[in-house]
Structure formats: C-alpha cells, structure tokens
C-alpha cells in the first residue's frame, strides 16, 4: 500500500480506536470506578450493572451522538461555505434553539410530553425556525444564493433571536438559572427515551452527510467546474445545509449549546487525513463523538461531586484553538 493510501486507513483506524477507548473509559470512570475487564466479560455486580445501564451508558451514548452530529455538521458547513472557521452555530440554529428552550422554560415550566421534557422539543422547533429564517433571508438578499449572503443572514438572525430571548428572560428573571444551565450545555438528564428521540434525526443527518462528501469535493474546485460535471451547485448546497442544520438542531435540542466541537474536530482530522470530504465527513462523525465523550468525562469528574457544564469544558479547549487559527491565518 502506498503512503497516500495508508494515511486514510491509519486515520480511520485511529479514530475508531479512540472512540472505543473513550466510551469504555467514560463508562467505567465515575463516582465508583468499574473494572473494565468485569464490564467486558459481563461479570458486574448488581449495583454496578444498574449504575452503568441506567445512568452512565445513556449519558455516554448521548455525548457520542451529540458530539458526532456537531462535528460532522461543522465539517459540512466548512465545505459549503469554503470557510475553515465555519461551525454549526451559523444560520441562527443555536440562537433559535436557545429562544425555543427559553420560551418553554418560562412559559410552560417543567412540562413533559410523554416521557420527554418539552425543553428539547422547544429547542428543536426554535432551531429549525432560526435556520429557515436565515436561509430565506439569505436567498432574498442574493439572487445567486451566495455563501456570503447566507453567512450575513445567519449573523442577522442570530442577533434578532438572541435579543428576543434576552427580552423574554428580563420579563421572567426567576427562570434565569434554569435557562443559563441549559445554555451552558448539559448531559446529566440523559436517558434511554431521550436517546430514542434523538437517534432517528442523527441517523438521517449522518447518512445524508456521509453521502455528500463527493459533492463537497466537487464544489471545492468551483461552481463552474461542478456545473460542467452535471451538478447543480445551489441545489447541492441546499441539501447539505438542510442535513447539517437538522443535525445541529437535534444535537442542540438534546444537550443545550455546546460550542467549538464542529470547529476543533474537523480541523484536527483535516490535518491527519487530508482535504477530501468523502473521508473527512465520516471521520468527523466518529472523532466528534470521541471528543465530546472525553469532554463530558472531564466535566463530571474533575471537581466531583460538583459538575462543570460541558459547554465550559469545550470552550476551554475551543477558544484557544480558535484564537490560534486566527493568528495563523493572519500570518499566512
């Protein structure tokens, strides 16, 4: 096998090993450490089995799903906008989710739909509204639907939705702590029903984005070249944006606002595996899952019994990384 062929193979193998090791570590480590050999061989005590089955495993799997969705969406956004600093919080998704969650908390309290809190449902609806509004505004502002217009529309939609959320909080400041906790990101309420709610959206978005890699590779050489190959650039962008935004909305609705995952992970993997989105998109799915599983492990164990919001942990990693990218870009 040539060096060029070996590089993707090593990247795929390394990411899958990292993900498996991260999940095993996160399931075994907590207030009580579980012997990984006993876990793998099925010789757990009744208490350990209950803790893992009902508490740790749903949380670890939710972290993996959310991290993978945000990371893969980040890689897709970077491909669509041809901007390495793009991440899943473009197009008003996060701001819309924040407004939706805030509206449910301050207007409906602890309402439950079936066995699921209404907060994630409100966040999902808000994220879809934010994304839809930004896309419609961006298309109206540019007849060609250019990426710059979409980016600016996302900024405008984010500012507007954030302002509405702030006004709503000012009118109901007794709920400020609960809203703040959700905004900083949390996985502590993970359960099998919440996983079941998220899984279909994750599967649809992940499959759509995995098959979009070839399109993004073609778009990276320019719209004219893509059109000459029989690809309609604007239709392709719309489909990819729809899948990435669905992924972002579902992840945010399940776990709150967790930043920088979609920025950090695709950048690291791009350096390891190259520029091809056919490889980068599936790698980002698994790499983002491993990243957030490890971040959640830090959030719940570093200052135990206190728990750091997971959004704070990812910001400690992502903010310096973002600053580094800006400095490197300004000098290139």
pLDDT attached to residue 67: 96
Q: Which residue has the tokens 């000459």?
A: 228
pLDDT attached to residue 69: 94
pTM of the prediction?
A: 0.87
**112 forms bridges with which residues in the sheet?**
117
Domains of the chain, start order:
3-326 (1.10.3470.10)
pLDDT attached to residue 187: 87
pLDDT attached to residue 266: 93
CB neighbours of 240 closer than 8 A, spacing ≥ 6? 76, 79, 80, 208, 209, 212, 215, 216
Locate 191 and state its tokens: 């359960």
Alpha helix (H) residue ranges in 184-230:
192-211, 213-219, 223-228
Task: Check if the beta carbon of residue 145 is closer than 8 Å to that of residue 237.
Answer: yes
pLDDT attached to residue 94: 80
Within a 13 Å sphere around the CA of 213, how many CA atoms are in the beta-carbon half?
17
Give the residues of the chain that fall short of pLDDT 70: 1-6, 109-117, 142-147, 329-332
Q: Could you tell me the CA-to-CA distances from 275 to 8, 12, 68, 190, 221 in Å, in that order?
A: 11, 14, 19, 35, 12
Locate 331 and state its tokens: 């000098």
Within a 13 Å sphere around the CA of 201, how many CA atoms are in the beta-carbon half?
27
Instruction: Measure the CA dihedral 91/94/100/106, to 10°.
Output: -140
Q: Which residue has the tokens 């135990």?
A: 304
pLDDT attached to residue 125: 85
pLDDT attached to residue 279: 92
Task: Check if the beta carbon of residue 261 is closer than 8 Å to that of residue 321.
Answer: no
Nearest to 297 by CA among 285, 307, 284: 307
Locate 171 and state its tokens: 């009118």
Going 60 to 63 to 65 to 67, the CA torsion angle's sign is negative
Task: Check if the beta carbon of residue 124 is closer than 8 Å to that of residue 69.
Answer: no
pLDDT attached to residue 22: 97
pLDDT attached to residue 117: 65
How does pLDDT run across 255-289, given as a tens digit for each residue?
888 988 998 999 999 888 888 999 999 999 999 99
- 217-223-224 Cα angle (round to 5): 120
Residue 133, phi then psi, degrees to nearest 5: -65, -40
Within a 13 Å sphere around the CA of 171, how many CA atoms are in the beta-carbon half?
11
Number of H helices, E strands in the chain: 15, 2
CA gap 224, 166 in Å, rounded:
44
Alpha helix (H) residue ranges in the chain:
3-28, 36-41, 46-51, 57-81, 93-108, 118-141, 147-171, 176-183, 192-211, 213-219, 223-228, 233-255, 261-273, 277-301, 310-331
**116 forms bridges with which residues in the sheet?**
113
Q: Could you tell me the CA-to-CA distances from 195 to 20, 68, 192, 261 in Å, in that order?
A: 19, 14, 5, 20
Residue 324, phi then psi, degrees to nearest 5: -60, -45
């Amino acid at each position: 096998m040539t060096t060029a062929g070996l590089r993707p193979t090593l990247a795929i193998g390394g990411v899958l090993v990292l993900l498996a090791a991260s999940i095993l570590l996160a399931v075994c480590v907590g207030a009580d450490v579980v012997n990984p050999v006993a876990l793998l061989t099925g010789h757990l005590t009744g208490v350990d089995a209950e803790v893992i089955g009902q508490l740790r495993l749903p949380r670890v799997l939710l972290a993996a799903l959310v991290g993978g969705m945000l990371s893969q969406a980040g890689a897709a956004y970077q491909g669509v906008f041809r901007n390495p600093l793009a991440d899943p919080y473009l197009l008003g998704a996060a701001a819309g989710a924040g407004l939706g969650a805030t509206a449910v908390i301050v207007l409906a309290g602890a309402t439950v739909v079936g066995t699921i809190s209404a907060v994630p449902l409100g966040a999902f609806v808000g994220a879809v509204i934010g994304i839809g509004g930004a896309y419609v505004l961006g298309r109206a502002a540019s007849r060609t639907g250019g990426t710059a217009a979409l980016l600016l529309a996302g900024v405008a939609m984010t500012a507007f939705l954030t302002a509405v959320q702030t006004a709503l909080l000012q009118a109901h400041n007794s709920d400020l702590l609960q809203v703040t906790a959700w905004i900083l990101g949390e996985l502590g309420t993970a359960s099998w029903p919440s996983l079941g709610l998220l899984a279909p959206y994750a599967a649809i978005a992940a499959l759509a984005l995995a098959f979009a890699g070839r399109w993004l590779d073609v778009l990276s050489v320019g719209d004219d070249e893509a059109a000459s190959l029989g690809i309609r650039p604007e239709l392709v962008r719309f489909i990819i944006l729809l899948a990435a935004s669905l992924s972002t909305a579902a992840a945010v609705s399940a776990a709150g606002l967790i930043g920088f995952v979609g920025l950090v992970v695709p950048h690291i993997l791009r350096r390891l595996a190259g520029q091809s989105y056919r490889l980068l998109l599936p790698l980002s799915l698994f790499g983002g899952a491993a990243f957030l599983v490890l971040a959640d492990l830090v959030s719940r164990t570093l200052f135990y019994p206190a728990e750091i919001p997971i959004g704070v942990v990812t910001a400690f990693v992502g903010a310096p990384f973002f600053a580094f990218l800006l400095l490197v870009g300004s000098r290139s």
